[in-house]
Amino acid sequence: MATDIGIDLGSSKTVIFSSSKVVLELPNVVTVDSETWEPVYFGEKAKQTIGRTPDSLVCVFPIERGIISDYDIAEMMLKNYMQQAFGNRIMRPRIMATLPAGLTDLQHHSLSNVVESAGGRNISVIEGPLAVAFGIGLDFSKPRGSLIVDIGAGTTDIAVISLGGIAACESFKTASSDFDSQIIKYVRKEYNIEIGQLTAEMIKVKIGSAVKRDVEVAIVAKGRNVFSGLPESFEISSGEVYDAITETVDAVCNAVRQVLNRTDPDLVADITEDGMYLTGGGSQLNGMAERLEKYLGVSVHRLEDPAHSVVKGAAVALKNPQLLKNVDYQLRSIKELVVE
């Protein structure tokens, strides 16, 4: 029976962690009926319908750039995911949910309400970078600065942590999904071919790179010719993908620099000595750590499981509430709810 649950409700996917393991990881996509707005598919099935739906169906992304954009759909989606993960075994668990750094109290409240609808006793909502710090075991008893960079799908969360609190932070709206958008634009401009989001993501994952590769690799993909409207194949190289996304990668690096510019010099000195911690799905882009090291002149520590480091850290914080004593967080007692 699940009693303690960590939830990472991200821009691209929801990850649920319980009993020392990831129990569910699904895309944050819901396919709904275009007239009644009733959900038809959730998660992976819904993702496969992106760009392939008839007029009677619409794909909805209830979380955009780390913020809930459609409250009702987000609520139904999380209820479905909780049901898939735990069935009827869930009994008013304690839940720790994560959200991007620097959001408003209203956005904290919205996330709490969505998670509450899935059933829980006490809900804590904390920033993703802080959860990462818990997960990697940073020593919060010392006044020493640590830099966490979490490159997600919709946001890049950057935070300087000291004494168990956030000294400086920012959530930038440039992240991994923007790499996909730049690939789509590049292919249209250079090849006169339209490709979809899923194809762009596949290209990024297979041959994308934040630095020029020593050995060029290429991939064949398919799309629709802009002029003829007919299907057409094309070959794109890793060098071309690098050219397509390099400005966006620089924007992510510059975002880290902006946070450091607002950070106390003594904390920056600590970071220069200890290095920074890089995590998030976007950090898995080939060469991302090397690009940041060269741009900032700071060594980069890559986490072992970057895609799940946030939700694992949330679970650690839930089991060790004393770690939250210096943190501005939200803890609520909520009414008893039943997951249908």
pLDDT, one tens digit per residue, over 20-69 is 889 999 999 999 999 999 999 999 999 999 988 899 999 999 988 888 88
CB 101 within 8 A of CB 169: yes
pLDDT digits (tens, 9 = 90+) for 158-178: 999 988 788 888 889 999 999
Q: Following DSSP, what letter does each residue of 249-299 receive, concatenated?
A: HHHHHHHHHHHHHTS-HHHHHHHHHH-EEEESGGGGSBTHHHHHHHHH---
Question: Is the C-alpha dihedral spanning 336, 92, 77, 283 positive or negative?
Answer: positive
Residues of the chain with pLDDT under 50: 328-340
Common-topology check for domains 4-131+309-333 and 142-302? yes
pTM beyond cutoff 0.85: yes
Domain positions in the chain are 4-131+309-333, 142-302
Q: How far apart are the first and last CA of the chain?
A: 16
From residue 10, give the alpha-carbon distance in Å to each of 1, 29, 128, 175, 228.
25, 11, 10, 12, 38
Homologous superfamily assigned to 4-131+309-333: ATPase, nucleotide binding domain (3.30.420.40)
Beta strands, E only, 130-187: 146-151, 156-162, 165-172
Whole-angstrom Cα distance, residue 176 to residue 288? 11
Give which of 110, 102, 114 is closest to 150, Cα–Cα: 102
pLDDT at 333: 34
Query: Residue 154 region, left (φ>0) first, then alpha (ψ -120 to 50), else beta?
Result: alpha
pLDDT at 268: 95
pLDDT at 95: 84
| Range 142-302 has CATH code 3.30.420.40 | yes
